[in-house]
Amino acid sequence: MYHIFHTPSSSEKDNWTDEDQKSFESRAAVVSSFLQGRSTHTVADIVNLWIGHPYGTKEKDSEEMFSLASTRHYTTVRAVRPALTSFAVQVVQKQLRNQMREAVKPASGLHTFQPLLWGLLYDVASPGSHVERKNRPVETVTSTVISKLAFSHSENARLGPLQEGLFNFATNASHEKFQYDSHVGNTPSYPTVLKAMLGLSEKSAVVCRELGLDPGFWYFLSLDNVQNYIRRRTHRLGRENWMNLGMAGTMWVRTFKANFDAFDYEAKQKLIAACKLGEITTGKLLRLIDFDHEKRVFSYQWLWVLGQYDEKYSAHLKTRANELLRTTGQRQKLPDEPTLCLPLPTTSGSETRLEELLTLLLDFWKSSGQTADHFLKRMLPVQGDGLTFELLLKMMHHRQFHQSPFDSLKIMEPVLAPWHTMWTNDAHIVEKHIVDYASLDPSTLGNSASKIKRKLIKEQGKYNYHDTTDLMYLVADMRMLDCWRLLLTKVACEHSIDTSDCDDVFAVIEKLVDASKMPTTQEFENYATVLHEMYTTEKAIHCAAHGQEDFRIPCIPADSTVDACFNTASQPSPITGNNVLAQSKDLMRETIRSRELVWSIAEGDVGRAWEQLKTIMFSMSGSSHKKYAYYLLVFVIDLHFQSTPENREAVLSMLVASLTGMPGTHRPVDLLQEWLQRTLEAIVQHKGQEFGASFIRNHVARNLRELCVLKEEHLSAVGLAKQSKRRTKISADAEC
């Protein structure tokens, strides 16, 4: 057998006779045909016979079975089964080593596929079935193991383990966790992770300075205070509990449609000097509001509500409403492109002390490349919440007599953050309409909340934003659906359809569908406009409060008949007002405005959002949040009376940002700032250091975006992404 497959050397051929040559050529033809698979029986058939032959079963439990090359080379194994299994193992071993060597090369970038290793690990990890598992998914387990094997093979293949190490840092893993993971090859060592973070921070610092000094880019800063309470485990002199105060800032860079004249310093100063504040009256401010636009978007929301809750027959209305909002309702839509987010080094200090706030601001400007000796002479927008906005204005007033535009802060353009304004407005709506949970007045929010067993709780003097908006929107939606019920009942009466047994709008729609009298989409749009005019305009609220109600849609008692629909309702006494109806209308109007503000920001339509903010300024004036009325007044005057149209559009575009550039992912910049600070405060609390400490500034602060995104992406990569909190199917029957 050996001589059949043995290939003779050149020295052996020299001693051959002609018969030996002919014999070799004949044998070579047979061997070639056999080894190339052209014979009747193939190599696989022979190997299968060998491995299963009864004469070889004696060695099936031999220690030489499946021997590795480091244990015993297969050529030294004599028995058939141990020899074949050892041969297979050692060939696979060599191939796996070659594939891993190629995969960890710098040019490969860990993107080289290792099919043999993947297949073996996948087969070992899977239970034998091919059903997709939610827990311990085989693909995730296999790829994780390969990543660890690559890191063990070469310390340069640490991209995956480094990501794991950064994830541990972002989630405040203990030092013992880092020690264990480093020892078993899950992550690099803790010092290596810190070195990587320092390198990333240094690169980010260079990018910040370059972009800050490049006139071809817009950028603005968002500021917010950060704080936590440091508790000492052991109290002694110099180690007492204390409030850790600081300031966090982020540089946001716009890379699209850069109008370089938008932040012209000279033009801005001329408009400020020419503006006569005493001539800005309430009438002028009211004329800034586009009431025709308000009528359109509010009507579209009436249409949206019916389509949102009636999925069976009116779902198309929701799609139509969204389409109208994005077309005829559009004002200033930002492109769906990502905004560059560059967190800046944090600082210690209190923003309420103007001298400390100035130091903090100058430090942030220095990080973005702006210093008193070298700065771009153009307006530098700085965004902050209400208190920060007020303090920035005070600081500008205190330093107005300095000569340099930089030292006098005349190059700074304060911008009021939108999300804190929205939150304050929602709190104002709740405080105005909640009244009392035991109230018998059906128009109050407290009465509706008690019926569905909801209660809003204040935390640190503030209502929870999500609980507040969820309750407001739900109650307003139910009242809007009831208004739809009245209108569609009138439509049914006009077609002589009996709706006396209909308890809600869905039953009325069923009747209209059964009678083939369902209104068209255009008719629904007209009805939505009518409902807005009757229930959610200032005039409608005023008329209800003074007994001048619009009777285009009569109030129909539950036991009414079809004939009763056509009876003319008597006009109320001119001195009688329906305060219950007026307050209910006011709640619907303010809630619609609140939701329109949320929608417009998510779409990136800052023009739509600005229209609502201008109106909120007036409603805040009569609330307990009068400071926000002042903040909005200053902001409105600045954008409409002290800015060019280009400057106004540019500043409005800085109210929102999108980290991904996907449609519908725009967020208020101050909300994104809060998102970054949540991770920052957790790390600072865990480390027990000041916000201005070198470690926090140089290792943590500039990497906040990467750490925040990493926490989400690391989980989503293994199938643990956050599920949408949006209900896939509306089920609010018990809440109606």
For residues 422 and 598, is the Cβ–Cβ distance under 8 A?
yes
SS3 label, residue 382: strand
The answer to whether the beta carbons of residues 497 and 509 sit under 8 Å apart is no
Q: Quick one: pLDDT at residue 585?
A: 96
Paired tokens of 482: 């009831």
**Closest Cα partner for 51 from 71, 81, 21?**
81
Secondary structure element (H or E) that encloses residue 445, with its range: helix 445-451
* 441-456 per-position pLDDT tens digit: 999 999 999 999 999 9
Q: Report the distance separating Cα 584 and Cα 241, nearest Å.
A: 49
- Cβ partners under 8 Å of residue 80, min gap 6: 50, 51, 53, 56, 59
**Residue 110, Cα to own-chain centre: how many angstroms?**
29
Instruction: Output 60-69 pairs: Cβ under 8 A, ≥24 positions apart.
Output: 68/93, 69/93, 69/94
Q: What are phi and psi of 41, to 5 degrees?
A: -110, 135
Q: What is the pLDDT of residue 736?
A: 37
Q: How far apart are CA 98 and CA 70, in angstroms?
A: 16
Predicted TM-score (pTM) of this structure: 0.83
| pLDDT score of 233 | 77
What tokens were used for 425? 């407005």
| Residue 723 DSSP label | P
Question: What pLDDT was estimated at residue 77?
Answer: 82
Cβ(579)–Cβ(545) below 8 Å? yes
Residues of the chain with pLDDT under 50: 110, 556-570, 575, 726-736
Question: What phi and psi values does residue 559 have, to the nearest 5 degrees?
Answer: -100, 20
Residue pair 722/713 in contact by the 8 Å Cβ criterion = no
**pLDDT per position as a tens digit, 667-720:** 999 999 999 999 999 999 999 899 999 999 999 999 999 999 999 888 877 777
**pLDDT at site 259:** 73
For residue 457, give the 3-state DSSP assignment. coil
The per-residue pLDDT for 155 is 67
Residue 156: predicted pLDDT:
65
Cβ-based neighbours of 439, under 8 Å, separated by 6 or more: 446, 447
